[in-house]
Structure 1
Amino acid sequence: MNRKLQIISRYMLRQRCGFNSMRSISTSMPILISHKHQVGKDPLVYRTIGQQLELTAANHGDVEAIVSCHEGKRYTFKGLLQEADALAAGFRKLGLQPGDPVGLWSPNYMHWYLSMMGAARAGLTSVGLNPAFQGPEVAYCLNKVNVKAIIAPESFKSQNYYEILRDICPEIADSEPGKIRSEKFPHLQSVIIDSYDGLKGALRFDDFLDLANKSEREEVAKIQKNILPESPCNIQFTSGTTGNPKAAVLSHNNFVNNGIHVGNRNQLEGERICVQVPMFHAFGVVITIMAGLTKGATMVLPAPGFSPKDSLQAIFNEKCSVIHGTPTMYVDLVNTQRKLQVPLGKIKKAITGGAIVSPQLIKDIRQILKVETVHSVYGLTETTAVIFQSLPGDSSDIVLNSVGYLTDHVEAKVVDAEGRCVPFGQPGELCVRGYTTMLGYHGDEEKTKETIGKDRWLRTGDQFILESNGYGRIVGRLKEMLIRGGENIFPKEIEDFLNAHPQVIEAHVIGVPDERLGEEVCAFVRLEEGVDPASFTAATLKAYSKGKLAHFKVPKYVIPVDAFPKTTSGKIQKFKLMEAFKQKEPSELKAFSS
């Protein structure tokens, strides 16, 4: 390349990454800025979820698609397609039109999986609702996205889903099934409950399966060509810590292609996956359901909600070769296996994501669960699911110190506060663009524009380091960064240090108010069984940290806890840790401080 073309090329690159000046451009040395576009060897496909289900049923028809251990139910991919079409025809018979939202409000039951597939075959938009939501939260979601029908179990543990729906929408009990009329919920027409008994105003799920006749079911196959891959297929409510959650709208194109590339990296062909994550969450619906669907892998549901004992039993009974879970789930799985010593057999890989994982936990997964390899996946709801993930054959050091390699067909850059690309190896905010980017937030154009620029770069809000070799690592959430006396501190570094302590099972760090320094470091720790909490103090931790951790990063407060507040998807709710700190009396805090 001649000198003139070199200058033009560098100028265009700087413009793309936010530089608006030609100053300081060297024509003799490359600009090593944090920008990478990973062009995959396998092209993207133009396919809907329904078309993918047909393809998988044709190629892997007799393979088990899903096993629900706690319900004693199994479906092959061929059987799944038949049931999905029965449900799709049922939705159409109820009067639902392409694009209409269908709420799926349930723990990990078979009806959730079948309904998601049925909605996709009918061209509807499934809406994942957290099974832990209470009345006001469900009411918000129903109206936020104009849900037309909702499917739920009658009850789970102490939660009675039908009664909650009837309480927020009393008209249900006085309506004919499928003909609800409510001023408060003007769009809601149908409530479908997985129950043995008939409930006023609701359709039984088993009756709903039989609602359509043979010709109506056969009609579903004919409409698949009318459903566009670009059209919405799913809405995910973000797990916000303040204010109401936002509703991220995702397309068939998002789901199918991310599923394919997650399945490729994790080599899921023919594997049996122990599913510990909730299906309503992006980890469940994309990284698990869609990746399994595209690769003909079997999903095994140990229990409706996370249960480490049931997971271990399912791995043994169903000969699972892969485990899916969040870091906190693996913490509990490891500790339960230490006690039970279940003969698990050969486990090829454990896939973890949804939160930052510590190096110590990865070592425990390998040693205690006897897992051959650990794969990391990293992404956001707004990026469908995965934008960085481990490569097959990654060394232990790479897995321990990164969230993986940039996903195929995704572009990434790391920028400073002014939006300019930083050099490789330097921290900044991660921005990405590509097929994974959501369509937007439902009914919230302003928030959509804040997150996705006109140039389609999506701001993740994560403080991130991108290496020139395509691997990345999280420094922390920008909003979680604390500033102690002018020093920027990211909790993850301290959490990794604490999690390696022999007496610590799990640790999470927050910044708390301090009159002199602005913020101080506070660590909440869950200790090994038998460790006296009174012996694990801020003073003893300070002595342990000497020579290992900078003095300003050593927690001033160390607070032992029996358990951490978590979302249903396994994420730690740090805002609740802050609430717990603020509720303590000064005398209590003094006992926890150094």
Structure 2
Amino acid sequence: MSHIIDIMLGSKEAFERIRRWILKHLIRQEEEEKEKGCRRLSTKQSYYHRTSDIAFRPWTLGQLAEFAAQHYGDRWAVISRHQNKRINFHDALEEADRLAAGLGALGVRKGDRVGLWAPNLIEWYVSYVACARGGYVAVLMNPYYGSHEAERMIKKADMRTLICGDVFKKQNYYDLLRDICPELEKCNPEDISSSKIPCLKNVVMITEDNKKGTFKYSDILNLADENSIKSIKQSQDSIDMDDPCNIQFTSGTTGDPKAPVQSHFAVVNNGYFIGIGMELQKDYHKICLPNPFFHVYGTVVAISSAINHGNTIVLPSDVYDPEENLTAIAEEKCSVIFGTPTMHMDLINEQLKRNEDVNLDIAVSGGALCSPKLFSDMQSVLKAKKVKSVYGMTEMTAGLFISTEKDTTQQSLNTVGKLMEHMEAKVVNEKGEVVPFGEPGELYSRGFSTMLGYYKDEEKTREIIDSNGWVHTGDQFVLTPDGYGKIVGRIKDMIIRGGENIYPKEIEEYLATHPDILAVYVIGVPHERLGEEVCACIKTRNGLRLSVEEIRNYCKGKLSNFTIPTVVEMMESFPTTTSGKIQKHKLVDVIKQRTVK
């Protein structure tokens, strides 16, 4: 009012004051409108960038192991129950440096590929760290590989040296090696010469027995001396954090495995942020790990996060065994359990039989889709105080979305968590256009943990990483404005029935609420008129048989009519990879064979 009175009186200062006030008001209004417009634009698009105040760790995996030895030296790094052995962080680093020096004495040099072909053993863990300390690239192999598969991977990765187990289940690694390299028994172990695999020069076996043409693991440790070990310790700054750390083969659920190369920086920091998401930094934990080391769940979700936060990995057995898993949790007083949904289902069934005294702080599910009902069982049967999800892919090093400390119950049950720190994600349609939040499409991601590429395969690399650095995940996904994600299914798993797109995940989640259903996977089967029909493959409690009519009645009114299964197949088990992922393409083949019969 005073401004108006001054203006009426003809004050020049008043005119100037009111002019400045109006100009300031208009500028503020314009800025607010712009901000509102930006908010409106951002909330329409399925794009999310998660910034963070938490700094990266600019280290190699070898430097991370040194950090753990300095800060958690006396804590157990690994407890291997089937070996009746355990090793602390300090001794693990010392043995790794000795092994790295011994490999160096054989002629292994920075950048050379060293294969790890063995089950979950302390020696595997030490070998993995040793490769990082020496600047060697660890090539992680499925311990179930037969000779043909192993030969293919040795050639694919140009392995110079191979560290392998002795006997694992029906696997006799020396016999398999002789199939791969018939000359092995006549070769000098210091320089293998093979016509089939000329790249391979040395084989190291984790055994106390002498095998012709190979070294024992202890032999390599004994090759190291004080000077060579000192050289390894002094060489850590010459290994760049962006150098290749390992070659992590994809699990091959849809065909021939590819060979993503992961950097030290990605392995260290992906594990670091995964650990924070799982709240491993808050306390000391013993982590029961039934997953194989060779998979990203083992190397990054488990090993890297455990080293980052000074936690202990407990290995229940060399081969997956639900009984041993539960025994390990009870006897070692494990506070954390890792696993895939299938593994958790098995553990729940075992606990229902035995009712062991378990007291879990955290249960983590990853590697495959997980139903809300399973999450509920993990809390009620396994007594897990918190149930967390981790979702990712090998091409993104490991984790991409993960549960947070502040998740609501709804977010825990209905999403795979929140996008990890320092990462970007968007959801696009078949034209590559970003869809609105809440609409399904293919998930694209980019960030610090993007793989360096597929080993010696630029064409395949360009197929999955576009010119803007986005990794095309192949997952049908829904993204929320606050950065949480939900898997609808794999794009290749989508069923097209009479022109309608059907996402199996939605049907699986609902059927999993049936009191008699233990596990269910939905696939498309050929149909002459509709193209595909919806088939539910079901495993029930106590082998109970459920008819198509029972399933349809259970779904009626809950699911859209066109999505309700018209084919039901009862299953005793499902085809899986070694890491516990369901192989739906093999499941389709099984059902097709049944239909033909």
Q: Secondary structure at the match of 1:198?
A: coil
- 1:396-442, Cα deviation, whole Å (9 max, x unpaired): 21110100011000011111111121111111111111101000001
Q: Distance in 2 between matches of 1:235 and 1:31?
A: 37
- 1:162-203, Cα deviation, whole Å (9 max, x unpaired): 111111111211111131011221110111111221011011
CA contact (8 A) 2:116 2:140 kept: yes
For residue 460 of structure 2, what is the amino acid of its counterpart? Answer: K
Q: Cα distance 1:316–1:426, how it changes in 2: closer, same or farther (>3 A)?
A: same
CA contact (8 A) 1:39 1:410 kept: yes
CA contact (8 A) 1:190 1:202 kept: yes
Q: Cα distance 1:124–1:27, how it changes in 2: closer, same or farther (>3 A)?
A: closer
Q: Distance in 2 between matches of 1:220 and 1:333?
A: 42
User: Which shows bigger deviation, 236-245 or 434-443?
Assistant: 236-245
Q: Which residue of 2 aligns with 1:423?
A: 436
Offset of 1:6 from its aligned partner?
10
Q: Secondary structure at the match of 1:75?
A: strand
**TM-score normalised over the length of structure 1:** 0.93
For residue 74 of structure 2, what is the amino acid of its counterpart? Answer: D
How well do the aligned residues superpose, as a CA RMSD in angstroms? 1.8
For residue 543 of structure 1, what is the amino acid of its counterpart? Answer: N
User: Which runs of 5 or more structure 2 residues have no equivalent in the other structure?
Assistant: 1-26
Offset of 1:34 from its aligned partner?
1.1
User: Which runs of 5 or more structure 1 residues have no equivalent in the other structure?
Assistant: 11-25, 589-594
Q: Distance in 2 between matches of 1:152 and 1:36?
A: 43
2:520 pairs with one of 481, 504, 507? 507
Q: Which residue of 1 aligns with 2:316?
A: 302
Q: Which residue of 1 aligns with 2:503?
A: 490
Q: Distance in 1 between matches of 2:536 and 2:102?
A: 52
Q: Report % sequence identity.
A: 45
1:271 pairs with one of 261, 270, 285? 285
Q: Distance in 2 between matches of 1:45 and 1:101?
A: 25
Q: Which residue of 2 aligns with 1:16?
A: none
For residue 72 of structure 1, what is the amino acid of its counterpart? Answer: N
In the alignment, structure 1 residue 312 sits paired with structure 2 residue 323: no
Q: Which residue of 1 aligns with 2:565?
A: 555
User: Which shows bigger deviation, 485-494 or 282-291?
Assistant: 485-494
Q: Which residue of 1 aligns with 2:18?
A: none
Offset of 1:123 from its aligned partner?
0.3
Q: Distance in 2 between matches of 1:241 and 1:36?
A: 28
1:436 pairs with one of 449, 462, 465? 449
2:148 pairs with one of 126, 136, 152? 136
For residue 562 of structure 1, what is the amino acid of its counterpart? Answer: E
Q: Which residue of 1 aligns with 2:305?
A: 291
Q: Which residue of 2 aligns with 1:20?
A: none
2:578 pairs with one of 563, 568, 586? 568
Q: Distance in 2 between matches of 1:244 and 1:484?
A: 28
CA contact (8 A) 2:253 2:577 kept: no
In the alignment, structure 1 residue 413 sits paired with structure 2 residue 426: yes
Offset of 1:243 from its aligned partner?
4.1
Q: Cα distance 1:198–1:416, how it changes in 2: closer, same or farther (>3 A)?
A: same
Offset of 1:242 from its aligned partner?
4.6
Q: Distance in 2 between matches of 1:178 and 1:473?
A: 52
CA contact (8 A) 1:403 1:473 kept: yes
Q: Distance in 1 between matches of 2:55 and 2:171?
A: 45
Offset of 1:373 from its aligned partner?
0.6
In the alignment, structure 1 residue 176 sits paired with structure 2 residue 223: no
1:403 pairs with one of 416, 441, 444? 416
Q: Cα distance 1:29–1:300, how it changes in 2: closer, same or farther (>3 A)?
A: closer
In the alignment, structure 1 residue 526 sits paired with structure 2 residue 535: no
In the alignment, structure 1 residue 476 sits paired with structure 2 residue 489: yes
Q: Which residue of 2 aligns with 1:19?
A: none
Larger radius of gyration: 2
Q: Secondary structure at the match of 1:352?
A: strand
Q: Secondary structure at the match of 1:210?
A: helix
Q: Which residue of 2 aligns with 1:152?
A: 164
Q: Which residue of 2 aligns with 1:201?
A: 213
Q: Cα distance 1:31–1:273, how it changes in 2: closer, same or farther (>3 A)?
A: closer
For residue 100 of structure 2, what is the amino acid of its counterpart? Answer: A
For residue 141 of structure 2, what is the amino acid of its counterpart? Answer: L
Q: Which residue of 2 aligns with 1:583?
A: 593
Q: Distance in 2 between matches of 1:121 and 1:505?
A: 45
Q: Which residue of 2 aligns with 1:228?
A: 240
Q: Which residue of 2 aligns with 1:448?
A: 461
Q: Cα distance 1:560–1:28, how it changes in 2: closer, same or farther (>3 A)?
A: closer
Offset of 1:565 from its aligned partner?
1.1
Q: Distance in 1 between matches of 2:488 and 2:39?
A: 32
In the alignment, structure 1 residue 541 sits paired with structure 2 residue 551: yes
Q: Cα distance 1:444–1:182, how it changes in 2: closer, same or farther (>3 A)?
A: same
In the alignment, structure 1 residue 357 sits paired with structure 2 residue 370: yes
CA contact (8 A) 1:3 1:27 kept: no
CA contact (8 A) 2:516 2:544 kept: no
For residue 226 of structure 1, what is the amino acid of its counterpart? Answer: S
Q: Distance in 2 between matches of 1:111 and 1:410?
A: 34
Q: Secondary structure at the match of 2:93?
A: helix
- 1:430-481, Cα deviation, whole Å (9 max, x unpaired): 1111101000001110111111112111111111111001111111111110
Q: Distance in 2 between matches of 1:406 and 1:547?
A: 34
Offset of 1:28 from its aligned partner?
9.8
Q: Cα distance 1:335–1:2, how it changes in 2: closer, same or farther (>3 A)?
A: same
Q: Distance in 2 between matches of 1:540 and 1:548?
A: 14
Offset of 1:393 from its aligned partner?
3.4
Q: Distance in 2 between matches of 1:239 and 1:256?
A: 21
Offset of 1:244 from its aligned partner?
2.1
In the alignment, structure 1 residue 218 sits paired with structure 2 residue 223: no
For residue 80 of structure 2, what is the amino acid of its counterpart? Answer: S
Q: Which residue of 2 aligns with 1:340?
A: 354
Q: Distance in 1 between matches of 2:241 and 2:32?
A: 40
For residue 341 of structure 2, what is the amino acid of its counterpart? Answer: P
CA contact (8 A) 2:416 2:486 kept: yes
2:130 pairs with one of 106, 115, 118? 118
Q: Cα distance 1:512–1:53, how it changes in 2: closer, same or farther (>3 A)?
A: same
Q: Secondary structure at the match of 1:392?
A: coil
Q: Cα distance 1:50–1:501, how it changes in 2: closer, same or farther (>3 A)?
A: same
Offset of 1:264 from its aligned partner?
1.2
Number of residues of Structure 1 aligned to a counterpart in Structure 2: 568
Q: Distance in 2 between matches of 1:72 and 1:459?
A: 43
CA contact (8 A) 2:194 2:200 kept: yes
